[in-house]
């Protein structure tokens, strides 16, 4: 869907020769990754799935247009496979490893020169069923399972990942540990084991803890700081915290909340990235919630630009039909930057403004 803005209606009524290009409508518009690099970030990226697993089936006719934006433009300098590297695909049966699904996206990243974030080594969800089917793991057995999985999978992409999400979503909202099979058998030791193993196998990849609802300070951000400190104290390498940033347009964090949350991690000496940004709204979208979404995107990306140590932003796909959101939150959707008809969300220009108006090197932009 495309909602004409007041500015675009006004412009279309003017003779072309006098129409001054507005941000986002000028001929010299660059892609988001270009603006991100100019602002001092490493990348602005988009996660993507292998075609067989994209959320909306029957959209094959859209693939050429999709690929053009995903791979052949300067919109995105980085990607993350949304599914293919997960345990379910990489070790479907104990000791049987398969990298086919993950390789689809990782090889495209290589071919097109995009940074790659690798996702995710140890996670309670999209886990191969055999891990949870066995209810009487001994500590030693499960330690061996984790070490073997992390070793084999990290080795498979060794040297290719800018970063690995080593442990994903280990916390509850109150900052306590999630009672996953890993935690139930090993306690917090499983986190140490996963990071120590990944550090050994891929010394160049940045090792991240990744979770959602870390974009404003509260119990869960404190729990995450506790994990960072625990690893540091044990002299186990952790390089970054990934803030997934699955947000809601109508109730998104403010710029200051984002900044405080990010600084809460960077002050510990680790870097931060927004790793799965999307901002859902009640559908059908309307001018009000699209404006809220624009503001929310601008604040999230703007905070990353403003805080030293926040190195990049990844949106969790870029084309609305391929988002996971409507399948999990009925009545909500349109969380990305391109609508189904390929017109851009107002939020696209919110991101653009955040990137163009701010720089890590200079003073904060005038809108801060």
Interface residue with ligand 9MR, options 215, 276, 295, 320 (CB under 6 A): 276
Q: Which residues contact 94 (CB under 8 A, 6 or more apart)?
A: 128, 130, 145
Total of chain residues touching ligand 9MR, rule CB under 6 A: 8
The angle formed by the CA atoms of residues 161, 259 and 368, to the nearest 5 degrees, is 115
Q: How far is the CB of 169 from ligand 9MR (least distance, A)?
A: 7
**For the window 315-334, what string marks contact with ligand 9MR as x by the rule CB under 6 A?**
---------x----------
Using only C-alpha atoms, the chain has a radius of gyration, in whole angstroms, of 21
Residue 80 binds ligand 9MR (CB under 6 A): no
Interface residue with ligand 9MR, options 22, 68, 100, 126 (CB under 6 A): 126
State yes or no: is 276 an active-site residue.
yes
Residues in a beta bridge with 206: 163
Residues in a beta bridge with 211: 243
Listed in sequence order, the DSSP H helices in 271-345 are: 287-306, 325-328
Q: How far is the CB of 272 from ligand 9MR (least distance, A)?
A: 16
The catalytic position among 169, 271, 295, 353 is 169
Residue 286 binds ligand 9MR (CB under 6 A): no
Tokens of 100: 């086919």
Q: Which residue has the tokens 């693939």?
A: 63
Nearer to ligand 9MR, 271 or 276 (CB): 276
Nearer to ligand 9MR, 39 or 313 (CB): 313
CA distance 69 to 315: 14
Strand, helix or coil at 65?
Answer: helix
Q: How far is the CB of 324 from ligand 9MR (least distance, A)?
A: 4
CA distance 280 to 52: 24
State yes or no: is 101 an active-site residue.
no
Window 5-64: residues binding ligand 9MR (CB under 6 A):
55
- CB 310 within 8 Å of CB 273: yes
Residue 352 binds ligand 9MR (CB under 6 A): no
CA distance 277 to 247: 7
By the 10 Å C-beta count (0-12 exposed, 13-18 middle, 19+ buried), 347 is classed as buried
Residue 164 binds ligand 9MR (CB under 6 A): no
Residue 82 binds ligand 9MR (CB under 6 A): yes
Nearer to ligand 9MR, 51 or 365 (CB): 51
Q: How far is the CB of 85 from ligand 9MR (least distance, A)?
A: 10
Residue 83 binds ligand 9MR (CB under 6 A): yes
Nearer to ligand 9MR, 39 or 167 (CB): 167
Interface residue with ligand 9MR, options 68, 94, 107, 125 (CB under 6 A): 125
Residue 244 binds ligand 9MR (CB under 6 A): yes
- CB 127 within 8 Å of CB 169: no
- CB 326 within 8 Å of CB 57: no
From the list 163, 130, 167, the residue with the least C-alpha distance to 145 is 130
- CB 85 within 8 Å of CB 119: yes
Nearer to ligand 9MR, 168 or 289 (CB): 168
Q: How far is the CB of 276 from ligand 9MR (least distance, A)?
A: 5
Nearer to ligand 9MR, 196 or 336 (CB): 336
The catalytic position among 75, 101, 215, 276 is 276
Q: Is the peptide bond preceding residue 349 cis, with omega within 30 degrees of 0?
A: no
Q: How far is the CB of 73 from ligand 9MR (least distance, A)?
A: 22
Tokens of 312: 């990049």
Q: How far is the CB of 16 from ligand 9MR (least distance, A)?
A: 42
Give the residues lining the site for ligand 9MR (CB under 6 A).
55, 82-83, 125-126, 244, 276, 324
Which residues are marked as active site? 169, 276
């Amino acid at each position: 869907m495309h909602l004409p803005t007041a500015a675009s209606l006004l412009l279309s009524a003017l003779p072309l020769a006098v129409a001054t290009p507005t941000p986002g409508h000028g001929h010299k518009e660059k892609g988001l990754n270009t603006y991100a690099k100019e602002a001092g970030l490493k990348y602005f990226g988009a996660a993507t799935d292998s075609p067989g697993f994209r959320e909306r089936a029957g959209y094959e006719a859209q693939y050429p247009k999709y690929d053009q934006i995903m791979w052949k433009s300067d919109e995105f300098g980085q990607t993350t496979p949304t599914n293919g590297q997960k345990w379910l695909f990489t070790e479907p049966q104990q000791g049987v490893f398969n990298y086919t699904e993950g390789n689809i996206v990782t090889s495209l990243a290589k071919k097109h020169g995009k940074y790659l974030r690798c996702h995710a080594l140890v996670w309670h969800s999209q886990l191969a069923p055999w891990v949870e089917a066995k209810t009487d793991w001994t500590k030693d057995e499960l330690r061996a399972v984790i070490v073997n999985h992390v070793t084999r999978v990290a080795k498979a992409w060794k040297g290719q990942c800018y970063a690995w999400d080593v442990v994903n979503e280990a916390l509850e909202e109150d900052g306590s540990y999630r009672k996953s099979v890993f935690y139930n058998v090993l306690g917090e030791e499983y986190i140490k084991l996963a990071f120590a193993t990944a550090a050994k196998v891929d010394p160049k990849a940045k090792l991240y803890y990744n979770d959602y609802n870390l974009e404003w300070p509260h119990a869960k951000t404190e729990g995450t700081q506790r994990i960072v400190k625990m690893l540091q104290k044990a002299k186990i390498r952790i390089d970054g915290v990934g803030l997934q940033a699955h947000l809601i347009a109508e109730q998104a964090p403010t710029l200051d909340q984002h900044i405080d949350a990010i600084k809460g991690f960077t002050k510990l000496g680790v870097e931060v990235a927004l790793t799965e940004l999307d901002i859902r709204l009640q559908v059908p979208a309307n001018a009000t919630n699209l404006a809220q979404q624009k503001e929310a995107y601008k604040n999230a990306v703007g905070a990353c630009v403003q805080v030293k140590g926040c190195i990049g932003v990844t949106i969790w796909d870029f084309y609305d039909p391929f988002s996971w959101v409507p399948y999990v939150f009925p009545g909500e959707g349109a969380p990305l930057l391109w609508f189904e008809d390929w017109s851009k969300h107002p939020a696209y220009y919110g991101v653009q403004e955040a990137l163009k108006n701010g720089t890590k090197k200079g003073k904060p932009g005038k809108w801060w």
